[in-house]
Structure 1
Amino acid sequence: MVNIRTRLTYQFVVLVTLILLVFSLGVYFFSKLYLEKRFFKRLQDRAITTTTLLFDLQQTDSTVLRLIDAGDKEPLLNENISIYNQRNREVLFSTNPANTQFHAQFIPLLDSTAQTLYLHQNDYQIVAIHLARGNDSNWVIVSGIDQSGLDALDDLRKILIIMILAAVLLLSVSGWFFADRALAPMSGIIQQVNAIFPANVGRRVEHPNRTDEIGLLVATFNQLLDRIEQAMHAQKMFIANVSHELKNPLTKINSQIDVALIQKRNPEAYQRTLQSLQEDMRTLTQLTNTLLELANTSVQAKNLKFEPVRMDELLWETKIQVLEWHADYQVQLSFPEFSDNEDDLIVEGNRAALRVLLTNLIDNACKFSPTQTAKVDFRSRAGKLTIAVFNEGPAIPALDLPYIFQPFFRSYATALSSKGHGVGLAVVAQIVQIHQGTISVRSTPEGTTFLLSLTSAAAF
């Protein structure tokens, strides 16, 4: 597998090489155009000179042309000049009479409407100029090879190839060191992370520049470490609390059995022992079921099946179920704001989970009330559904309110008045979060109120 440093180097070399190739092709192309244009200009000047000798000075023999070539610092290679009379369709003059066919092949391309034609034939460049003098229509055709231009282009091509190869080599080396320098902070981060796990989870990754991309990555990673530390702390607390909650009834059961086995007792004593054991087993069963509910809501949150649930009907069903379990409880339902629109009463959620939520709230309210009474206030508005569960009882201290939805947390004020494990409200918080609702608590000397808020189907 190719590492990031190699990929960065490769991408850097490829990108800059492509830019150099485009730049070199541009230099070569425009240099070629410039040389061709310059040579066409020389051919055009030679055609004008020949025209002047022919029509003005009446001197067009090869001796005069050789004198003109002698004064030219750069003589044309394979130069050939022809003058063609379009009216008589004959060649009036040629510097190479033995090879007039070379220019004759361009005669069909001549157009009387054009004044100058520029042509290519292999390495040859050809210029044809149209001259109209009275009734005569003549063409001066000049051709030659720009050997110096071809040599210059060949040298330029070699230079560009060598420079590109040298640039690729230089880019490979510099790109490798550049990638190493850019990724150097990542190596430091890896070393810091290896030092954090598992020895010291409380440490955090440090980076000098917190505003660049790596700094933002470090900040995000530190936030993840915060959540991991919180999760590990919660896990330790959970295990410790579960061990403690399970240890007490198990120890009590074991002690009662040991005492019962020490000596024979009368049936009434055995009956009292069995009743005590039954109570302890109910406590264990209740704790186990609550822990399972907490685990299911945490782990299987994404797998819960959602369906339309009419909350007023579910509230009545929950009341009946709670009273069946606890005949001494009292649940008072009131509906001060009841919408005529059925959608205001329906919530998209998991029916079983919502039933557990309402059961825990009502059961807690009755359990911590001196009169074992829960007062439930149901209100439905447009797109909003609220359920307030109130009970009379000791006020929860303000310092304890932020923690009451944490697993196994029990306020000192409520722990003295009733038995419990501190898991039910944690289950309630999980279910509310799954249904994207809110729950809050307000406690006064008059009593404690839990306010549940859910979004109804009318909001969608």
Structure 2
Amino acid sequence: MFKSLRLKLLFYFFIINIIVLFVYGAFIYNTAKKGVLNTTDTQLKMVSIDVIPDFKKDGYENASSIAKELIEEFSIEPLFVKIIYYDKKNKKIEHQTLSSKIHGWLFDIPLNEIGHLGSIYYFDKGAYRTSSMLIFEKDDTKVFIQLSMQKDIDSPYLKQLFFGLIIATPILLIIFLIIANLLINRTLSPVKDVIKSVKSISANNLSSRVNTDNIPSEIEELVATFNKLLHNLEDSFNKITDFSNNASHELKTPLTVIRGEIEVALKQDREPNEYKEVLKDILQESISIQKMIEQLFFLAKKDSTEINSNFSELYLDEVVTDSVMQIKKFALTKNIDVEIKKIIPSTIYANETLLKIAINNLLRNAVIYSPRDSHVYISLSEDDKEYLLTIEDNGYGIQEEDLPFIFERFYRADKVRSRKDGGTGLGLAIVKMILDIHNYTIQIRSDKNRGTIVNIKIAKN
């Protein structure tokens, strides 16, 4: 009905207050009405008691004369009287008299002939209140006096109270609504602060977060969820930005090379062999571009939470053996022998696909940056706390000043050789990311023109 939460709360508060005020007003009015009725009953009792001395032991009293005396004495008008003489022995009315026969219906009430002296009962008869009291007892006769007078339901007090409630209820309702509006605005002020903070966040400052200080517990979880959403959005945005920047930066060189090769080839007519050489260079650059794009997509799309959910128990020795078998075909192109020096049975909890990618990248790098007719060694050993995976080559090595930067994206220690061998500068960045996801440690030792040793420490489950 209302989209505004504040209006909803005010509407519900309004309905609840109407009900409460109506019930409370009705309670007050009925209580006052009962009070007025009690006053009427008290008058009837006092009048009934007052006539007791007027009764004589012999003879019957006349209801009309008694009614006249009571009206003059108490100024109660109209007042109707009925006197009943009840025969205890025969258990029937011996004699009765009415002050007004046309009002006889007011006394169509049960007679409590077995009641004790002074007992009085009250009955509602329309706008009248009728009482019946045993006031006198002589020999075998009981004397009852029954009085009837109008209920004072139209008294000035009740009228004043009724109109007071009609006037006061809307005023109280308005006051309550004003107070409720102030309280609701005050209660919702943290929500307004959160909205203000959210509006200030844009693509340029995704690192900002909604302040959780002085946030009510009812919306604290909502704010925490939104901050987590911002974190995920920032992470995704950064991946997209990195992919865009990295792709635009790295694709320039191979595309420039391809364009240059084509332009040179088209400047003059050439021999078929020359065209073949140009096409080979273009093919090599195209393969490099394809590989780079695949690796960029891998870095941009992989989510650590999704990866962790795909962890399972696996045999590390089998993963290593499979990786070696895969890389051997590639190593044959340079007549490099990939050899397992030592391997032990080992069981770990990891993502098998990613772990193979990491090991394959390390083995591929060892082959790429090793001279022809050389060797690459891999071994798997253990101690009490961890497994140690070692990859060793006797290749070109890495200079000491380059070692701190080799895990950065697109960093190449030997830029000329990396470009020539098809390197993208992303392989070790992917390896580091995969190992970080698994909480594995990697250490690289290298000597220029002597070789490189890579150690991966894997904690035992």
Q: Is the 8 A contact 1:388 1:450 kept in 2?
A: yes
Distance 1:252 1:148 in 2: 108
Residue 363 of structure 2 corresponds to 366
Could you say which structure has the greater relative contact order, defined with CA pairs below 8 angstroms and 6 or more residues apart?
Answer: 1
Q: Does 1:24 align with 2:25?
A: yes
Query: Out of 95, 99, 102, which is 1:96 matched to?
Result: 99
Q: CA deviation at 1:416?
A: 9.6
State how 1:27-46 maps to structure 2 within 5 Å.
27-46=28-47
Matches within 5 A, 1:5-154: 5-54=6-55, 60-61=61-62, 62-72=64-74, 75=76, 77-83=78-84, 85=86, 87=88, 88-90=91-93, 92-99=95-102, 101-107=104-110, 110=112, 112=114, 115-130=119-134, 133=137, 135-136=140-141, 139-147=144-152, 151-154=156-159
CA contact (8 A) 1:85 1:137 kept: yes
Bigger mean CA deviation after superposition, 277-286 or 267-276: 267-276
Report the residue type matching 2:163 in the other structure: K
Residue 274 to residue 66, structure 1, CA distance change in 2 (3 Å): same
- Report the equivalent of 1:201: 205
Alpha-carbon distance change, 221 to 3 in structure 1, aligned in 2, over 3 angstroms:
same
State the Cα distance separating 1:283 from its structure 2 match: 1.8
Larger Rg: 2
Question: What is aligned with 1:210?
Answer: 213
Whole-angstrom CA distance in 1 between matches of 2:18 and 2:72: 47
The structure-2 alpha-carbon separation of the partners of 1:169 and 1:99, relative to structure 1 and needing over 3 Å to count, comes to same
Deviations 1:184-207 (A, max 9, x none): 676676566555546x52795888
Residues 377-418 of structure 1: per-residue CA shift (max 9 Å, x gap): 699x9xxxx9764435869999969x95xxx73567698996
Distance 1:210 1:305, change over 3 A: closer
Partner in structure 2 of residue 439 of structure 1: 439
One-letter code of the match for 2:132? A
Match of 1:285 in 2: 290
Equivalent residue for 1:257? Answer: 262
| Alpha-carbon shift at residue 432 of structure 1 (Å) | 8.8
Among 323, 336, 343, the alignment partner of 1:334 is 343
- TM-score (norm: length of structure 2): 0.69
Aligned to 1:351: none
Whole-Å Cα distance in 2 between the matches of residues 395 and 40 of structure 1?
114
Say whether 1:160 aligns with 2:169.
no
Unpaired stretches in structure 1, ≥5 consecutive residues: 339-344, 348-353, 456-460
| Equivalent of 2:249 in 244, 248, 258 | 244
| Aligned AA (1:422) | L
Aligned to 1:356: 353
Cα offset, 1:30, TM superposition: 2.2
Q: CA deviation at 1:218?
A: 7.0
Q: CA deviation at 1:330?
A: 4.5
Task: Give aligned pairs, total.
Answer: 426
Structure 2 residue identity aligned to 1:42: Q
Give 2:41's aligned amino acid: F
Q: For 1:22-46, what per-residue CA distance to the aligned partner results, in whole angstroms no more than 9, with x for missing partners?
A: 3222212322332223322322333
| 1:395 and 1:448 in contact (8 A); partners too | no
Report the 3-state secondary structure (helix = DSSP H, G, I; strand = E; otherwise coil) of the residue aligned with 1:320: helix
RMSD over equivalenced CA pairs, Å: 5.1
What is the CA–CA distance in structure 1 between the aligned matches of 2:81 and 2:400, rounded to whole Å?
A: 113
SS at match of 1:144: strand
CA distance in structure 1 between the aligned counterparts of 2:310 and 2:232, rounded to whole angstroms: 28
- Structure-2 change in CA distance of 1:24 and 1:262 (3 Å): same
2:205 alignment partner, SS class: coil
Mind listing any 5+ residue stretches in structure 2 that lack a counterpart?
Answer: 447-452
Structure 1 length-normalised TM: 0.69
Q: The residue matched to 1:107 in structure 2 has which SS?
A: coil
- d(CA) in 1 for partners of 2:124, 2:319: 93
2:450 alignment counterpart: none
Distance 2:22 2:424 in 1: 78
Taking the TM superposition and a 5 Å limit, the aligned residue runs for 1:261-280 are: 261-265=266-270, 269-280=274-285
Deviations 1:286-345 (A, max 9, x none): 22333444566459959x99798755666654553344454544566734555xxxxxx7
* Matches of 1:399 and 1:271, distance apart in 2: 38
Q: Is the 8 A contact 1:201 1:225 kept in 2?
A: no
Residue in 2 aligned with 1:409?
409
Q: Which residue of 2 aligns with 1:3?
A: 4
> d(CA) in 2 for partners of 1:322 and 1:364?
9
- Provide the identity percentage: 17
Q: Distance in 1 between matches of 2:429 and 2:134?
A: 103
Give the deviation of 1:358 after TM superposition: 2.0
Q: Does 1:320 align with 2:330?
A: no
**C-alpha contact 1:442 1:449 (8 A) present in aligned 2:** yes
Shift in CA distance, 122/231, structure 1 to aligned 2, threshold 3 Å: same
CA shift for structure 1 position 240: 0.5
Matched to 2:4, the amino acid is N
